[in-house]
Amino acid sequence: MGSTTEAEYAAFLEKVKRTVYLDNLSPQVTEPVIRTALDQFGNVKNVQFIPNYTEFRNIPHCALVEMENLKQAKDVVTSLHEFPFMMSGMPRPVRARAAEVEMFDDHPAKPGQRIQFQWLDPNDPDFEVAQRLKRLARKHAAEASFVLKEQLEQEEQLANQQEETLKQNYKKYETLEGIMSDGTAHRLGRRYDVRIHDD
Amino acid sequence: MVEVAEVENLDFKWGKKRGIGGKKKDVQFYQSFTYDGVEYTLYDCVYLYKEGDAEPHVGKLIKIWENADKAKKVKLLWFFRPSDISNFLGNVQTLENELILACGEGVGLTNINPLEAIAGKCNVVCTSKDARNPQPSDEELQISDFIFCRTFDVGLRKVLDKIDEKIAGIEVKFIFNRQGYQNSSVALKLDSNKKEVSKNATISDETVISAQQNIPESVSTKQEGGFIDTSVKQGVEASLIRQNSSLLDNVDLESGGKAKSGEGLEDISINSSNLRSKVKENEHTKVLTTKQKSSFAERPVSSVDSKAWLVGMKSSLGEKVSSIGGAQQGEIVRTIKPGITFGDKIASSSKVGFEKSKAKSSKALETKEEVKSFKDPNELYNGPSNKAKFDSSRKVFDDKIKNRVQKLGLDSNVHGPKPTLATIADEDKSKTKRAVAKDPHGIDKGPCKKPKLDEELLKPTSGKLVEASSLQPSIVENKSNKQIVEVTRRPSLDRSKWFKELPWEERIRVAHEHGTLVVLENLDPSYTSTVVEDLVWHAFKENCSAKMIPRVAFASPYFGQSFVIFKTREVAELVVTKLEEGCLLLSNGRPLLGSIGTPCFTGKQSKFVGHLALDKLKFQMQREMREAVSTSHCSQPNSLEYDMAIEWSLLQERLDCAWKKLYEDSCPINFFTTRRSSREASSPEVPEHTDKSEYAGCFPGANPPTLKSDMKDLACYATVLGKAWLSWFCEILRVTPRFWGKRGCRGSVRSCVLRHGSGESVAVVPRFSGWGACLANCRRPGLLASRPLAGMALCLLQEIGLADDVLVDEHDISAPVPPRTRLLRDIPVRKTLPSDICSPCLVSSTYFS
């Protein structure tokens, strides 16, 4: 009994090792998209999206991608770290990192893990401390939530800024196109003695 | 397998035959049968136990037959408990004792079971307002074990309010309450009494069996020695006492019921409760003496009490009982019983009570019973079953009881034809057995107001349900005793496996709508969902289904969260309050937090922050973009996209640092680590709420993590270049340490690549580095020649003084090149370009190869 659960857990740890955690995924990314995208690094064995029930609506998706072996998983992580990797849109790149045990919602219990709890007596001097800890935990949760909110804001800000840049670029390209059509390019060509032909 | 063997022993008799069926006409159908002393007829509702299930299933007998191989089978139409189908209930609110009848077609409608699986009768009343249904009276409702008024279509998986004409081929009249139910409430009462009797009989029968088994033991050991002999007898006695005390419970409640109904029996109920507490005390002392006597008791215990139903009680009941305790118990049972049956008479003088009760009991039960006043505990009311108890107890403690017997003798003399106690001492065990068998007849005289209780009695009798009931109290104690509770597997539930569970998203949504969703926080993230379920079970004694929320990259590694769905809103609220007011400390030293869950559901997101697209798709650039959207790719360094992607990477990196820093700070929330410090030095109160200003300091924006220094420089170049240079028709494409892409050339060249037109690229070495040079067409030699616009851009660059030199590849000579253009080839690298800009590696591989 014990040995089988341990073996199971060991197998699971192996699985964790060859799994890559992807985030910053667009909602349009589906399993086939991930499969085709990561095919170049190795065989994708399994793709599992991590559902998000708790946080804000517009949080990027994340997924666990199980590769065939550890090496492939490492390849994915390094490659995606080195080169910005676009999936179903740009320019926000997808990020990859090694998966962790707690990211699996069906992870098996650690063998030999003993779970204990106790109800504290309200008269116990520790009770007050524990209550304070509760508040502290809530505070930390609030902080995390705040940082997350801030992160989303920053991301949005960057996205807006980039959109602006893109628009400007686009405008410039239009201008370039314009100098071709309105003869500016030809005039310049005459000046530099260059034959301009429409391409 | 003990139980099966036991079952075989129980008497069984077929009742009325119905017909013959089957392929070879070898199947005999029956209308009724008697099993275990209980008569079952077609369309009765019965309990069925399944190994490992906490609660019995309830079904309706719709077919009874015997196969050719003598296998007795029953076909059952199932009732569901609301918990079985909680996923499909929607917002249907069910009563506590409500069942839901299966209907429709599919798995879970009916099953064929061996007849032996039946554990007892069950009183299910239909409360449907259907005109076809004879409406039950209030009394019937009170005595019913369960009610039902809804059906559950196993095919459609929907709860319906109406009942179809036929369910599983059974006409609806058999499903509703039976005809005549309404009119003959008295008869029904009797009937239900009968049922109770039969249930009680079940108990006593088993007791008899156990007693029977004990007897040979005791007989055989008699010769061996006094100690063992007595111990065995104690075993017998103990089982009898056990029975009595359980019956006593029943009686007690009966009297309570009576008192409520206003028959002036309050004093009796008080008395009985007093007596009951005495019994409790006795039992307590029993347990206390246990340890001392264990050496004697052990052996007989193991041999005698092999019965499954006694397992839970083995230790306490198999022990030596003080004669007074035993006697008192018997006494109490007796005294209460007549008290109820003839309550009003007891209120008057005891003598009168004696007479009347004697007359009545002899008529009704043909057993001799005496009525005794409560006030005289020494005078025992004596009946055959009492004999049994006294018999055994007297044998053990002969001397002690003698006085008592004499007193009893006085009574018995008054009431003639009863075997005297003098003979009891010598009576053999078979009498004991008979007496026990008769015992329940005493109790059935009072209408049983609490069938539920009987059910409770039944459960331990069948021996499969000991664990849950014994577990709970211990937990309650633990709560107050501040003991550390080890969480083990909770007892398995009767959660039906017939239906696949809904996906969690759906379940969470439904639970949220009904307010049964709770979020537990501050868990150890390594807990699994089952562990959380077990934890909740042990901490609150509530069943639930839990779902750990998988941790994402930005979530705290110390702050595990889990959704927990309870059965009702009340339970959910109770749990939250308990967690709020009390303090549940987990083994990792963190107190558990709970709140009513408010999940947010990810709807369809159309737009993703950070993914850009242009509105108009006129140019090639945009066509490329559109194509890129549909595929995945590594961004190439010569594109605008790459530039933006690098910006994103920077942001992500920064935010990661922020998270890391945040969780480093929040790491030491741990009871064991903070306990001392917070006691000694009272730390400043933690603010309850949060707002932006308060945490400005902790947010990375205030103190952004530093980039690698060279990247910072590049970013700076890019900005300056972008602002100052060429912005009117060239765009800074990227600033990168890896100038020429993937292969080779990883030298660190600080330069900017300008994108110009569609596809050309020009490298610009910033002028303020001292070397204003344009490296034309650095990526693909020859490309510039075909792109006149790019060439013209170079010319402009030089003309307006932004570039000292324009260097072009020889392949690009045909391109429009500025007048003072030099070939890259002609430039002595070391002299023209600073080495930190143009590393040998770069130059050799790209320009001069």
The top-scoring range by mean pLDDT among B84-93, B329-338, B487-496 is B84-93
Nearest chain B CA: its distance from A128 CA (Å): 9
Residues of A in contact with B645 (CB under 8 A): 84, 86, 90-93
Question: Bridge partners of B505?
Answer: none
**A154 sits in which H/E element:** helix A125-181
Cβ neighbors of B106 (< 8 A, separation 6 or more) are B154, B155
**In this structure, which amino acid lies at residue B782?**
G
Strand B805-808: give its sheet, edge to edge.
B731-735, B752-756, B760-765, B773-776, B805-808, B822-823
Q: CB-based contact (8 Å) between B828 and chain A? A: no
DSSP string, B83-128: TTTGGG-TT----TTEEEEEESSSTTSEEEEEGGGEEEEE-EEE--
Interhelix angle B185-222/B266-304, nearest 10 degrees:
40
Q: Are B443 and B202 in contact (CB under 8 A)?
A: no
Question: How far is it, in rounded angstroms, from Cα B589 to Cα B606?
Answer: 43
Contact B559, A137 (CB under 8 A): yes
pLDDT at residue number B451: 36
Among residues B685, B539, B517, which one has the least CA distance to residue A131?
B685
How do the residues of chain A divide into helix, strand and coil, expressed in percent and rounded to 5?
A: 55, 20, 30
The one-character DSSP state at B566 is -
Instruction: Compute the distance between CA of residue B250 and CA of residue B592 in angstroms, rounded to an integer.
Output: 41
CA distance to A128, A129, B318, B689, B694, per residue, from B682 (Å): 11, 10, 55, 20, 21
User: Side chain identity at B617, as an amino acid letter?
Assistant: L
Least confident of A125-129, B633-637, B701-705: B701-705
Looking at the complex, does the CB of residue B661 fall below 8 Å from at least one CB of chain A? no
Candidate ranges A154-158, B292-296, B387-391, B659-663; pick with highest mean pLDDT: A154-158
> What number of H helices and E strands is found in chain B?
26, 29
CA-closest candidate to residue A145, choices B659, B479, B846:
B659
Mean pLDDT computed over B289-296: 39
Residues of A whose CB is below 8 A from B686: 132, 135-136, 139
By percentage, how much of chain B surpasses pLDDT 90?
A: 0
Residue B288, min C-alpha distance to chain A (Å): 28
Per residue in B58-103, pLDDT tens? 888 888 888 888 888 888 888 887 777 766 776 677 777 788 888 8
For residue A180 the two structure tokens come to: 């071709």
The answer on pLDDT for A106 being more than 70 is yes
Give the C-alpha separation, B323 to B325, whole Å: 5
Give the side-chain half-sphere CA count within 13 A for A141: 22
Is A136 touching B (CB cutoff 8 A)?
yes
A98 touches chain B (CB under 8 A): no
User: CB distance A155–B609 less than 8 Å?
Assistant: yes
The answer to whether the complex's ipTM is over 0.90 is no
- Between these two residues, B220 and B124, which has the higher pLDDT value? B124
Neighbour tally for A10: CB within 10 Å: 11
Write out residues 153-192 of A within 8 Å (CB-CB) of B.
154-156, 158-159, 162-163, 165-167, 169-170, 172-173, 175-177, 179-180, 185, 188-189, 192
CB B47 within 8 Å of CB B53: no
Which residues in chain A (1-20) have CB-CB distances under 8 A to chain B?
Answer: none
How many Å apart are CA A90 and CA B10, to the nearest integer?
Answer: 77
Q: Are the Cβ atoms of B635 and A176 closer than 8 angstroms?
A: no
- Among partner residues B563, B644, B698, which is closest to A162 by beta-carbon distance? B644
Computed over every residue of chain A, the mean pLDDT equals 81
Cβ contacts of A175 on chain B, cutoff 8 Å? 728-729
- CA-CA distance, A137 to A129, in Å (whole number)? 12
User: Are B612 and A166 an interchain contact pair (Cβ–Cβ within 8 Å)?
Assistant: yes
What is residue B435's predicted lDDT score, i.e. its pLDDT? 38
CA–CA min distance A67, chain B (Å):
18
Q: What is the pLDDT of residue A19?
A: 92
- Classified as helix, coil or strand, B73 is strand
Is B482 close to A51, i.e. CB distance below 8 A? no
Tell whether A87 lies on the interface with B, counting CB pairs under 8 A: yes
Greatest mean pLDDT among A169-173, B449-453, B768-772 lies in A169-173
**What is the token pair recorded at A127?**
């009770």
Question: Once rounded to an integer, what is the mean pLDDT over residues B542-556?
Answer: 80
DSSP class of B300: H
CB of A111 within 8 Å of a chain B CB? The answer is no
Sort out which chain A residues have CB atoms less than 8 A from B646's CB and list them: 84
The stretch B731-735 carries a mean pLDDT of: 41
With 50 as the cut, is the pLDDT of residue B1 above it?
A: no
Averaging pLDDT over each range in B109-118, B463-472, B696-705, B796-805, which range is the top one? B109-118
Helix (H, G, I), strand (E, B) or coil at B183: coil
The one-letter code for the residue type at A111 is P
Tell me the C-alpha to C-alpha distance, in Å, between residue B656 and each of B76, B526, B652: 61, 22, 6
A135 and chain B: CB distance < 8 Å anywhere? yes
For chain B, the average pLDDT equals 56
Cα distance between the two ends of chain A: 75
pLDDT at B806: 64
Average pLDDT over residues B142-152: 81
For residue B198 the two structure tokens come to 């039969």
Greatest distance between any 2 Cα atoms in chain B: 144
pLDDT in the model for residue B520? 86
Domain A6-103: what homologous superfamily?
RRM (RNA recognition motif) domain (3.30.70.330)
Spell out the residues 6+ positions from residue A158 whose beta carbon is closer than 8 angstroms to its own.
Answer: B610, B647, B648, B651
Identify the residue among B639, B642, B644, B728 best suited for mutation to test binding to A, counting A beta carbons within 10 A and taking the highest.
B644
Tokens linked to A125: 């001097």
Rounded to whole angstroms, the Cα distance separating B322 from B772 reads 110
Q: What is the pLDDT of residues B102-145, one digit of tens each?
A: 887 777 778 888 877 788 888 888 887 777 777 878 887 777 88
Token digits for B589? 């030293």
- Looking up tokens 């490309």 gives B783
- Structure tokens that stand for B142 in this block: 């009170």
More confident residue, B273 or B458: B273
Angle at B501 between CA B499 and CA B502, to 5 degrees: 120
Structure tokens at A39: 């095919």
Span of A135-144, B241-250, B674-683 with lowest mean pLDDT = B674-683
User: How far B594 CA sits from the closest chain A CA (Å)?
Assistant: 10
B564 pLDDT above the threshold of 80: yes
Report the Cα–Cα distance between both ends of chain B, in Å, rounded. 89
Task: Indicate whether B784 pLDDT > 70.
Answer: no
In this prediction, residues B691-717 reach a mean pLDDT of 35
Interior/surface letters B615-646, b for 16+ CB within 10 angstroms, e for the rest: eeeebebbeebeebbeebbbbebbbbbbbbbb
The pLDDT value given to residue A89: 75
Q: What is the pLDDT of residues A159-198, one digit of tens each?
A: 888 888 888 777 777 777 777 777 777 777 777 776 666 5
B384 confidence band (pLDDT: 50, 70, 90): very low
Cα separation, B215 vs B99, whole angstroms: 43
Residues B655-679 have a mean pLDDT of 57
- Contact call for B644 and A115, based on CB within 8 A: no
Q: How far apart are CA A136 and CA A131, in angstroms?
A: 9
Q: Is B507 helix (H, G, I), strand (E, B) or coil?
A: helix
pLDDT digit string (tens) for B155-197? 777 777 777 777 777 777 777 777 654 433 333 333 444 444 4
- Please compute the mean of the pLDDT values over residues A94-118 and round it to a whole number: 81
DSSP state of B739: T
User: Which pLDDT does position B51 carry in this prediction?
Assistant: 63
Percentage with pLDDT > 70 across chain B: 33
